[in-house]
Amino acid sequence: MNCNFSVENSEDQILAVLQGMPDDVFNIIRSRCMLRPLIQRLIIDNAVANISVAQEKINQAMSSFVQQQEISNQNELDQHCATNGIAEEELINQVTLPIKIAVYSQQEFGPKAESHFLHRKEDLDQVSYSLIRLTDKSLAHELYLQIEAGETDFETLAEQYSQGPEKQSKGNIPLNALSRAHPILKNKLRTVPEGILMEPFEIEQWWVITRLNERRSSEFNDAMRQRMSTELFNQWVDQSIDNIMSKVNQTLASEVNAA
């Protein structure tokens, strides 16, 4: 299979490759749910085809790979390639693929990275907080009043009463992306000042007592630029896959109707 497509019209060229497969091979790939991963890899290979990797970075990537695979000499590397049915050059291409993706993402999507960051910033901010969840509304209000009055500390009550996994950490939720919190909780943590204990509120079947311990605002630095560029790259890849899958499904439907 020749995967050296031009960037322009790559979706049509990938479709041509798929349509050029023997029917039995294509049906095996499709029926085993391997079609989408295959299309994904073809799109990515096409995108990074002209990206060069410095020899030093190739050596570093291969060194990490052989350490992870516990490969200690060339004979073992040759055996690994033979077992997996690939040439060493193909293995190097696989090992260096993340480097190529990072470079391509910066080249193609770097100019849009900051605006994407600003759009996503609230979800990228990190928070740590304390949490108690209960099914009993009355008990939740009672515990809230105890903490508010300083009668008992949050950690003691969380360990004793909380009905979620945070019970094991005395209610402490470590610093994490705000986007990972439940939408209702996320909206409250986004605006409450640090150190403020919030009155119990309802989330699904739970009554929740929470206190924001720290809010850490995300910054647009080099690492964030790369992260946002990679996110945009992945969105582009997913959209391209959807476009190709839609055309494949249309072709299959036409063939069924014509039969």
Q: Report pLDDT digits (tens) over 6-26.
A: 444 688 889 999 989 999 999
Q: Is residue 168 part of a domain?
A: yes
Q: Within its chain, how far is the Cα of 11 from the centroid? A: 24
The set of residues, in sequence order, having a beta carbon less than 8 Å from that of 196 and lying 6+ positions away, is: 211, 212
**CB contact at 8 A, 101 and 230:** yes
Q: What is the mean pLDDT of the chain?
A: 93
CATH number of the domain encompassing residue 188: 3.10.50.40
The helix or strand, by DSSP H or E, that contains position 256, with its residue range, turns out to be: helix 222-258
Q: What is the pLDDT of residue 8?
A: 46
Confidence class of residue 157 from pLDDT cuts 50, 70 and 90?
very high
- Asked whether the predicted pLDDT for residue 2 surpasses 70, the reply is no
Q: Is residue 207 part of a domain?
A: yes
Which DSSP state fits 180?
G
Phi and psi at 208, nearest 5°, equal -115, 130
Q: Is residue 205 part of a domain?
A: yes
Q: How many angstroms separate the CA atoms of 100 and 200, rounded?
A: 49
Q: Is residue 75 part of a domain?
A: no
**CB contact at 8 A, 128 and 173:** yes
The residue type found at 239 is Q
Q: Is residue 139 part of a domain?
A: yes
Higher-confidence residue of 107 and 5: namely 107
The set of residues, in sequence order, having a beta carbon less than 8 Å from that of 194 and lying 6+ positions away, is: 212, 213, 214, 215
**CB contact at 8 A, 9 and 203:** no
- Asked whether the predicted pLDDT for residue 254 surpasses 60, the reply is yes
Confidence class of residue 257 from pLDDT cuts 50, 70 and 90?
low
Burial class (CB in 10 A: 0-12, 13-18, 19+), 127: buried
The set of residues, in sequence order, having a beta carbon less than 8 Å from that of 239 and lying 6+ positions away, is: none
Query: Whole domain around residue 144: which residue ranges?
Result: 126-216
- Residue 147's nearest CA partner among 138, 137, 159, 156 is 156
Q: Is residue 31 part of a domain?
A: no
Residue 31 vs residues 5, 94, 115, 213, 240: alpha-carbon distances, Å: 26, 25, 40, 50, 21
pTM of the predicted protein model = 0.76
Q: How many angstroms separate the CA atoms of 123 and 179, rounded?
A: 4
Unique residue bearing structure tokens 């890849």: 237
- Tokens coding 8: 């322009």
What does the pLDDT look like over 172-182, one tens digit per residue? 999 999 989 99
Q: Is residue 151 part of a domain?
A: yes
Question: Which 3 state secondary structure label does DSSP give 201?
Answer: strand
What does the pLDDT look like over 91-119, one tens digit per residue? 999 999 999 999 999 999 999 999 999 99
Q: How many angstroms separate the CA atoms of 240 and 235, rounded?
A: 9
Higher-confidence residue of 254 and 42: namely 42
Domain count of the chain? Answer: 1
Q: Is residue 252 part of a domain?
A: no
